[in-house]
Structure 1
């Protein structure tokens, strides 16, 4: 079981290593954008339940 998981991660790492830097940057930027949106939505929904008004978010 662990050997299979390790081999998957090694395959992903090898694939990542072969990508050009420009492609890596695009992938990282996309991931950051997705998580930024998710965290922003989570923050706004958690602030919406409080009595404090939302500021300049």
Structure 2
């Protein structure tokens, strides 16, 4: 994921279905880890976009 961020990506989600976590990557920030989320929002990079995790599991 760090390679994508280094090449200009502003938001990356690494979804771990087995452990039910989402790692959120943004430039110049440590990855944020969310455990068992029902949804993940794309704000502010993707205003109004949210991913319902029930559709992933």
Normalization by structure 1: what TM-score?
Answer: 0.19
Where relative contact order (Cα < 8 A, 6+ residues apart) is larger, the structure is 2
Structure whose residues are more often strand by fraction? 2
TM-score by length of 2: 0.19
- Structure with a larger share of its residues in helix: 1
